[in-house]
Chains A and B, each alone.
Chain A
Amino acid sequence: MEKKTQRKLSRREFITTGAAGLGVAALGTLPRQVFGGQAPAVIKGTKLAFLQATYFIAPAQDLFRKQVEEWGKMAGVTMAVDFLNWPDLQPKIAAAVQAGGVDIMDLWPGWNFLYRNSLVDLTREAEEVGKRGGGFEPYVLNSGKVGGRWLGIPNGYSNASMAYRISWFKEAGVANADDGNKIDMTWAEYFAVAKKMKAKGKPFGQALGHSTGDPPGFCYPYMWSNGAMELSKDGKSIAFNKPEFVDAMKKFVQAWKDGYDETGTSWDDSNNNRAYLSEQISSTFNGSSIYFAAKKDKPDIAKDTHHILIPKGPAGRFYWLETRTTAILKNSKNVAAAKEFLKWWFQDEQYNTWWRIQEGYHLQHVKKLADDPMWFKDPKMTPFKQQPKYGLNTGYAGPPNEKAALAWSKYIVVDTFAKAVQSGDAKAAVEWGAEQLKRAYGV
């Protein structure tokens, strides 16, 4: 069945086939499964507005737009889809929650909790998607449900890991530098390479500014892997100011001086991409967007780039990983059509095509895709395949609820790192972070 689906709607076929042709073809075969037995006439002539962030992988954005148009033609629904810059997405969603005007939104991690009162319950639809895919990945189960309900259908999350320059790692004496899949580093080992690389004028780079992707993506896992967390497992106290974490922070402060580009305190999610692609830095925590950009415009850098799993600490290896959810606003005047669209789009024919075209940039939401042939096309993408099994959510060991979102949006964990490297006083920085977390969580 899966093979048949791939053959029918492969990436190349989908892009080259006109939307109208697909629509006509689909009308003959899909209505029953697409519309769940309901007559399309119910939603015909209505309108749907869709809000998403812009994609790093442009073909996926084009494909999504085509899919939306295709369904609109089939169902007789006028579709409007807006792709916003990442920082603009949340204000626009907040405005839509308050004033309407949007029907379907792509919610980023934690927003399903923030807007819980304004979202349509999609438990039945989400459970169907999970069942079809052999169950959701654990990180999706940790972060997608709000109070036991799915307030949006999980669609996965973008990947991230350590990108590095093969030839420079070889020069630094890293074993198996040719193949990132064979490298399994601790933080101490990673920092040791950073020191060697900075001595050669090619430091590591890490964003620690107020930015939503790479800074928390690095800082939360470093905290967890060194035994600290925001909330204790019983949820009654803050477990951030731990001696082992203070010690780890001291090591990070030292590594920052010895091995990192120290201007990283002001970097946002794009600075490290640009620094890496202009050969200023030799390794950085980032999504595979660096690799894709290099493949497109700087093939020599792409050839010399590989990825490794995020390093592990004494408490293990972790990634900050929560699912994005596609949700419907309660104030939508067209909930029925919105539900029909989502039922259609989350079918394998649509979702899997969209997911595969991103070539691993977007992590799978269901277990069935964990061993999809897509993951074996490019060995340099294989480290990302393993990422979902190490995922933890913001607020861990508690749920990724409103309080975790408050702490996250105040950049408390990120700022703890920034304060530590700026002042050199790891202990005071961790104490400050613990105090701020205490306020945010009210414990």
Chain B
Amino acid sequence: MRGGAVTTGSLLERESSLGVILMLPGALLLMVFMAYPFFLGIWLSLTDSGIGRVGRFIGLQNFVDLLSDTIFHQTARNTLIYALVTVPFKCALGLGLALVLNNRMRFSNPVRAAVMMPWIVPTALSTLGWFMIFDPVFSPISWLLRHVGLISKNINFLGDPGLAIASVCWANIWRGTPFFGIIILAGLQAVPADLHEAAAIDGAGLWHRFLHVTVPHIKGVVLIAGLLSVIWTFADFQLIYVLTKGGPANQTHIFGTYAYQIGLSATEIGMGAAIALYMFPILSVFAVLLLIYLRREE
């Protein structure tokens, strides 16, 4: 008993073993909630499993089958558009928002808190708001435009092929802009004021000060926010599911919603896992870029 206490005590004394002990709970949580589902997903994607049905190992057959599925092609295209179109918009609007919020003004703290609302409110809830705004029959936008005589019939926000993807992108931009805004605002506040003063004394105008003083200081946070946003947008689900469920005619399906449709609705869980895993290489590239950047900064 005494010997055991001594051993435990010495374990806690030793830096190397203490580190391992302290890491253990976190590692365990990661194993259970991240690693296990991930590897289970990989395993499922290599089988023909269904809900309530143990499948056979079929190698890469699911992945191969998807390559000739035109709905999957459309899904991949939609996902790329959804992620790569929305992130630059979110970044540009977020930068503008941050520059405005960085100015001294009255009620700046409540205003900063308010602009975070789209990001804080649960996505499913805020998307219901967009669901009403894009309503094919009762949209307030259509109503307003009709009453001022700019349009003669309702806008088919979620039913027209081009407009449907544009509408879901717009809702995503609305939701994601505050994240960029607040991250960039934090970056802006770290820019030393004396650099701006020195540049102003040297005759630099507003634009030049922004370009040569501000931008070099915030490009790191912009890059991190951008990479994170690409990853999150690729893996989105709720917004599309609430607004369109991938319709009409699959014009708004992204990997998450199509994987859900095949994996849970059609109960082809193996195929559903394969659809979701097609995101993995793309997301890995962005994750590696992010890690490389962070390491370099260290």
Question: What A residues does B53 contact at CB under 8 A?
Answer: 117
- Beyond A264-B136, A410-B261, is A415–B248 a contact (Cβ under 8 Å)? yes
Which chain A residues border B164 with CB–CB below 8 Å? 266
Residue B264 is within 8 A (CB to CB) of chain A in the complex: yes
Contacts of A278 in B (CB 8 A): 137-138
User: In the bound complex, do residue A410 and residue B137 qualify as a contact, i.e. CB atoms below 8 Å apart?
Assistant: no
Once bound together, how far apart are the Cα atoms of A409 and B250, in whole Å?
Answer: 12
Q: Knowing A90-B265, A262-B156, A263-B154 touch, does A422 contact B249 (C-beta < 8 A)? A: yes
8 Å CB contact of A266 from B68, B244, B266: B244
> Would you call B137 and A263 a contact (CB within 8 A)?
yes
Q: Is the CB–CB distance between B69 and A439 below 8 Å? A: yes
Q: Which of A56-64, A203-211, A299-307 contacts B (4 or more CB under 8 A)?
A: A203-211
Q: How far is the CA of A439 from the CA of B64 in the complex (A)?
A: 13
Inter-chain contacts of B122 with A (CB < 8 A) = none
Expressed in whole angstroms, the minimum distance between the Cβ of A319 and any Cβ of chain B is 22
CA distance A97 to B53 in the complex (A): 10
Q: Are A436 and B70 in contact (CB under 8 A)?
A: yes
Q: Using Cβ atoms and an 8 Å threshold, which residues of chain A touch B264?
A: 90-91, 94
A432 interface residue per 8 A CB criterion: yes
Chain A residue contacts of B249, Cβ below 8 A = 265, 415, 418-419, 422
Query: Chain A nearest CB: distance from B76 CB in Å?
Result: 16
A170 at the interface (CB under 8 A from B): no
How many residues of chain A have a CB within 8 Å of chain B?
41
CB neighbours of A91 from chain B (8 A) = 264
Q: Is the CB of B51 within 8 A of A94?
A: yes
Q: Is the pair A263, B136 in contact by a Cβ cutoff of 8 Å?
A: yes
Contact of B69 with A97 in the complex, beta carbons under 8 Å: no
Bound form: Cα–Cα A432–B73 in Å: 14
A265 proximity list for chain B (CB < 8 A) = 156, 159-160, 248-249
Contact check: which of A98, A263, A418 meets B51 at CB < 8 Å? A98
Q: Quick one: given A94-B264, A271-B137, A402-B267, are A266 and B248 in contact (CB under 8 Å)?
A: yes
CB distance from B212 to the nearest CB of A (A): 48
0/1 string, A56-96, CB within 8 A of B gives 1: 00000000000000000000000000000001001100100
Q: Is B255 engaged at the interface, CB distance under 8 Å to the other chain?
A: no
Which of chain A's residues has its CB closest to B265's CB? A409
Out of A118, A262, A439, which one reaches B52, CB within 8 Å? Answer: A118
Task: Report chain B residues within 8 Å CB of A402.
Answer: 50, 267
* Docked CA distance A156–B70 (Å): 36
Please state if B244 and A275 are interface contacts (CB–CB under 8 Å): no
Q: Is the CB of B137 within 8 A of A275?
A: yes
CB pairs A–B below 8 angstroms (25 shown): A90-B264, A97-B51, A97-B52, A114-B50, A115-B52, A115-B267, A118-B52, A209-B245, A211-B245, A261-B136, A262-B156, A263-B137, A263-B159, A264-B159, A265-B160, A266-B158, A267-B136, A406-B262, A406-B266, A410-B71, A410-B261, A411-B250, A415-B249, A436-B70, A439-B69
List 16 other contacts, CB 8 Å, given A208-B248, A418-B248. A94-B267, A114-B51, A118-B52, A210-B244, A210-B245, A262-B156, A265-B156, A266-B164, A278-B138, A406-B266, A415-B247, A415-B248, A415-B249, A415-B250, A422-B161, A439-B68
On A, residues with C-beta under 8 Å from B are: 87, 90-91, 94, 97-98, 114-115, 117-118, 208-211, 261-268, 271, 274-275, 278, 280, 402, 405-406, 409-411, 415, 418-419, 422, 432, 435-436, 439
Interface pairs A-B: 10 shortest CB-CB: A266-B159, A263-B136, A210-B247, A265-B159, A118-B52, A266-B158, A210-B245, A409-B265, A409-B266, A418-B249
